[in-house]
Amino acid sequence: MNFQDPLFWRAGAVSTTLVMLIVLAFLSVDSMRYIEAGGINVPKYDVINHAIGYEYEWSRSADVPVIGAEEPLFGKKVTEQEAEQIMHKGKLVIQSRNCMNCHTIFGNGAYYGPDLTKSWLDPAWTQIWMPATGKATKEEAMVEFLMHPDKYPSWQRRMPNLKITEEEARATVAYLKWISSIDTNGFPFGFGRMAP
């Protein structure tokens, strides 16, 4: 082996790059098993037909979503395909209004407003917004809040009215319910149990 020969170093660089490309491809495919809807950490979209809880699991030292009994969103069971269309709409609402300019989802975004990753599980919906909006269910209270956040402030910082239609608000609530069911290794820590 001649360490003075540039060809030696070139061959080394090329082979290392090739091996790392294979490792990268493997890791990308492997990550998809965890992060796609229906993957290991992410329930399918029709999880919105079920109750979702959040319980501390001692063996993992983290809060973990618990998918419970049937509890369809807005009392209407949806098929997997319908759920997918609703999620698509909900995601577009969140992108079009740039909610991430004020909120965080999965650690991405801003902290002017509360973290939305587990917002569906926020005790404030039943404790503050159901009485404030006079709605009988959590999801209806969420729709009313999203359409008129300026009418129901609960905090010193206010959310502006973003002219969200009822259909858009319902899709956004479905989206928020679905993301709350995703196993995020306990992020955000102590949600719903600790003061923000």
**Which residues of this protein are in contact with ligand HEC, per CB under 6 A?**
93-94, 97-99, 101-103, 112-114, 116, 119, 122, 124, 146, 153-155, 157-160, 162, 172
Q: Which is nearer to ligand HEC, 38 or 134 (CB)?
A: 134
For residue 176, give the H/E element and its range.
helix 166-180
Q: Which is nearer to ligand HEC, 38 or 107 (CB)?
A: 107
DSSP string across 105-163: ETTEE-SSS---TTGGG-THIIIIIHHHHT-SSHHHHHHHHHH-GGGS--SSS-PPP--
CB of 107 to ligand HEC, least distance (A): 16
CB of 157 to ligand HEC, least distance (A): 4
* Cα separation, 194 vs 196, whole angstroms: 6
CA 65 → CA 3, 41, 74, 116, 124, distances in Å? Answer: 56, 10, 20, 15, 18
Q: Which is nearer to ligand HEC, 78 or 146 (CB)?
A: 146
CB of 144 to ligand HEC, least distance (A): 11
CB of 31 to ligand HEC, least distance (A): 26
Q: Which is nearer to ligand HEC, 39 or 192 (CB)?
A: 192
